[in-house]
């Protein structure tokens, strides 16, 4: 019980039903080896927690000022719920030391396994959802993940703007965007490219970069924002 109180302090949530927390910390290896000490393992809670986590992340992205498209939200969510990110969250609160593991899993270093830690985080979130409310689990998720969410939201690394624009233009207009190099500056090994992107002959964006690929990406990003703005005003063509 001391360990449980310590973990609750780390997470910032105190369980009304301690059995839910114990279940969330119970790996199936412990459950199968100690049927007299556990009523269930954490895989059902893990499944529930995965869905709750995804909902909270997408809801946060949906209401952000950036007005992400569905595919960008999907990419960000996919990144944030991957094993390495979840295990990093688990390590930040030393979750591994509280898990109930079978002897074999313990001996093989289960407390530091990324897959096991990621599953335990999801199980814990599922338990909080059942024990408290959506509001409580949302507060907890944003406390644990907000910094990671905000970093990804303001990073271009996950976004393939050219693919995103191509998918949009094919869906909306049945055509592909056209990129035109309008300027090259600088010495041969230090060139700066300026590229404009056109959709059905109309310019939608301009980008500048140290390579054509980079300039095209910036142009595509600007075009996506323009498409969003035009669709809001119903003035695309």
Give the number of residues written for the chain: 237
Catalytic residue among 50, 131, 196, 221: 50
Q: Catalytic: 43?
A: no
Q: How far apart are CA 47 and CA 11, in angstroms?
A: 20
Say which residue the tokens 């005003």 belong to. 233
Asked if 122 is an active-site residue, the reply is yes
Q: Which of 23, 105, 122, 164 is catalytic?
A: 122
Residues pairing with 196 in the sheet: 180, 206
Q: Find all residues with CB under 8 Å of 3, minimum gap 6, and list them.
A: 98
Burial of residue 32, with CB atoms counted within 10 A of its CB: 0-12 exposed, 13-18 middle, 19 or more buried: exposed
Measured distance CA(69)–CA(221) in Å, rounded: 12
Q: Are 194 and 205 in contact (CB under 8 A)?
A: no
Bridge partners of residue 181, in order along the sequence: 195
Side-chain half-sphere of 42: how many Cα atoms within 13 Å?
A: 30
Q: Order of strands, edge to edge, in the sheet holding 192-199?
A: 178-185, 192-199, 202-209
**Partners of residue 199 on adjacent β-strands:** 202
Q: Which residues are catalytic?
A: 50, 122
């Amino acid at each position: 019980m001391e360990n449980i109180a310590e973990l609750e302090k780390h997470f910032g949530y105190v369980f009304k039903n301690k059995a839910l927390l114990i279940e969330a910390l119970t790996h199936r290896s412990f459950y199968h080896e100690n049927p007299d000490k556990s009523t269930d393992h954490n895989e059902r809670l893990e499944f529930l927690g995965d869905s709750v986590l995804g909902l909270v992340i997408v809801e946060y992205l949906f209401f952000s000022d950036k007005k992400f498209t569905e595919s960008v939200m999907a990419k960000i969510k996919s990144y944030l719920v991957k094993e390495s990110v979840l295990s990093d969250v688990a390590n930040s609160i030393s979750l591994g030391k509280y898990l109930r593991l079978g002897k074999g899993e313990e001996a093989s270093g289960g407390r530091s396994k990324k897959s096991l830690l990621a599953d335990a985080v999801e199980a814990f979130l599922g338990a909080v959802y059942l024990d408290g409310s959506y509001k409580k689990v949302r507060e907890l998720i944003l406390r644990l993940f907000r910094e990671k969410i905000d970093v990804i939201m303001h990073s271009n690394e996950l976004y393939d703007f050219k693919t995103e624009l191509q998918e949009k233009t094919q869906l909306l207009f049945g055509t592909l965007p056209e990129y035109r190099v309008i300027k090259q500056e600088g010495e041969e090994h230090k060139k700066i490219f300026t590229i404009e992107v056109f959709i059905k002959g109309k310019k939608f964006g301009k980008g500048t970069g140290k390579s054509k690929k980079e300039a095209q990406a910036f142009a595509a990003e600007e075009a996506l924002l323009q498409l969003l703005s035009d669709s809001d005003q119903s003035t695309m063509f």
